[in-house]
Amino acid sequence: MKTSVKVSPIDVDKRAKLDMRAGDIVRVHQKIQEKGKTRIQIFEGLVLARKHGKEAGGTFTVRKVASGVGVEKIFPLYSPNIDKIEVVKRSKVRQSKLYHIRDKAARDVRRQMRNVRSAKEETEEVVAEPVIEEPKAEELAPSEVEETKTEEKE
């Protein structure tokens, strides 16, 4: 009796040994299929969580901010669609799940909007009160001086 051994398209041992934790900034090279061709798309961001360890169903969540919008992707650790995972930067964190980063980003945006709003109000106040200076009599021609005097009398 023959036992068939499945050959995985990925190096399982290498992925299992990958020392990736929450707080790391990683670059995930993902294979994308478009119109019969495959291309590599890079998703670089902060690892928020790693779930289910090194077992077959292990996943990791990566978050990045693209065009001012937070984007999160959950990648299976042993997916054949992932070409390569690089750890770019390592940070020391004290929690295994960094879900509080989502709220922190929202607070920062709200604080920035508050600052923008107050700066906008200050500029509106300056525009709302235009200062009109009347020309001095020395700068006007003699005929214009007479016109202004008659306007003041009326």
Q: Number of structural domains, the chain? A: 2
Q: Is the pLDDT of residue 45 over 70?
A: yes
What pLDDT is attached to residue 14? 81
- CA 62 from centre of chain: 12
| Torsions phi, psi for 137 (to 5 deg) | -65, -30
Same domain flag for 141 and 153: yes
Q: Answer yes or no: do 149 and 137 share one domain.
A: yes
User: Which pLDDT score is estimated for 128?
Assistant: 57
Sequence-distant (6+) residues with CB within 8 A of 42 are 27, 28, 29, 30
Q: pLDDT-based confidence at 53, cuts 50/70/90?
A: confident
Residues 74 and 129 in one domain: no
Averaged over 56-75, what is the pLDDT?
Answer: 89
Confidence of residue 154 (pLDDT cuts 50, 70, 90): low
Could you tell me if 13 and 86 lie in one domain? yes
Given a cut of 70, whether residue 147 has pLDDT beyond it is no
19 CB-near residues (< 8 Å, 6+ apart): 87
Whether residue 93 is found in the same domain as residue 109: no
Say if residue 12 is in the same domain as residue 87: yes
Looking at the structure, do residues 46 and 113 belong to the same domain, yes or no? no
- The domain in which residue 50 lies consists of 1-97
pLDDT at residue 41, rounded to an integer: 92
- pLDDT, tens only, 77-102: 888 888 889 999 888 888 888 888 88
Q: What is the CATH number of the domain that holds 89?
A: 2.30.30.790
* Least confident interval from 14-28, 76-90, 138-152: 138-152
Same domain, 148 and 86: no
Last residue of a domain, one of 71, 97, 123: 97
Residue 117 and residue 74 in one domain: no
Percentage with pLDDT > 90 across the chain: 17
